[in-house]
Amino acid sequence: MAAAKNRPLSPHLQIWRWGPAMAVSILHRVTGNGLAFVGLAVLLWWLGALASGPAAYDGFLAHAGAWYGRVVLVGLTWAFFNHMASGLRHFVLDIGAGYELKTNALWSVITPIAALVLTLAVWAAILLR
């Protein structure tokens, strides 16, 4: 089968005009992958330390309580809330609502802001208890 020389090329990211919906869609994929890989690694480390006894668990807590551990945990919290809010936005789109341009752009902007507010609220509750 010979390829036609005048076939149209598929548009790439440089051609599309960036908008809030595109950014939220990409963030949804990035946070999902981050939760799958980093979140799973932290979960397995925590479970392994929990099953290995007090010394191993104290080692886990030392790393989790250090500045770099808190950065990872705060990042995972934000990724969770961002992925959840974006998933809820996609659920609403899947039922056929919210396709109007202004509505879609509004919820695309609200999604990461809601994730940030929820992350701040969770970590304020954790740190201020």
Separation CA 115–CA 27 (nearest Å) = 12
**Is residue 12 a known part of a binding site?**
no
Of the candidates 121, 123, 110, the one whose C-alpha atom is nearest the C-alpha of residue 82 is: 110
Q: Which amino acid is at 38?
A: V
Sign of the alpha-carbon dihedral angle for 20, 22, 23, 25: positive
| Cβ atoms of 38 and 72 closer than 8 Å | yes
Q: Whole-angstrom Cα distance, residue 116 to residue 56? A: 32
Q: Which residues are annotated as a binding site for heme?
A: 83
Q: Which residues are part of a known binding site?
A: 83
